Amino acid sequence: MRHLFFGLAAAGFLAAAPAQSAPQLGGFTPEQLIDDQFIEETRAWLTAPVVEITVARQNERHAGTDQAKIDALDKQWRAEREQDDQPLITSVLSNPLSSYLTRIQARSLGLYTEIFVTDRLGLNAGQSAITGDYWQGDEAKFQKTYPVGADAVFLDEAEFHEASGTWRAQLNMTVRDATGAAAGAATVEINLTELARRAAYIGN
């Protein structure tokens, strides 16, 4: 059974926002746009060998890592964001998984605005851009996916991105290993405005 969670405000978020401050989604709700087919298509490219191998290797490397070490790594990541020397950030951004996710985002032609994958501890294993932190384990995007099970999916509530004038939502799901067991988690931030445009075009 697939575990599917939705952010509490997702369905009503568009109606609650002032009409003049946000673009319309053509009558679609986030759940209608990010439906079962969209989720399965996303899961398909998250089963690529580079995802499985990178997450598996990082899980092995971080085996036995305690919370104090996790906090130290997260603190180092945050500090490096303000520095020229960024060994931890560079080690993640330069790996094959990050290259793969960057290509997936680029090929989406504006549909995906951010993608990152974590290991079983919630530590970044690969990403398409620098995230604010290294550890995602204390956030709903991780807590409602990997710990829940291999089929868990969590769609967070939609938010309006003022800089681009678009609605966005994060689709989060558990990443599986070769046996189908839970191995980590993935977050894909989706441009709902663009997805609604494509859905309307197909419907016409």
Over the stretch 138-163, which tens digit does the pLDDT of each residue have?
A: 999 999 999 999 999 999 999 999 99
pLDDT score at 83 = 96
Strand ranges, E, within the chain:
4-6, 112-118, 124-127, 153-155, 159-161, 166-176, 182-191
Give residue limits of the domains in the chain.
4-203
CATH class label, 4-203? alpha beta
The model's pTM: 0.88
Chain center to CA of 55: 15
| Low-confidence residues in the chain, pLDDT < 50 | 1-23
pLDDT value of residue 76 = 98
Give the H or E element holding residue 202: helix 192-203
Q: 171 has which bridge partners?
A: 155, 188
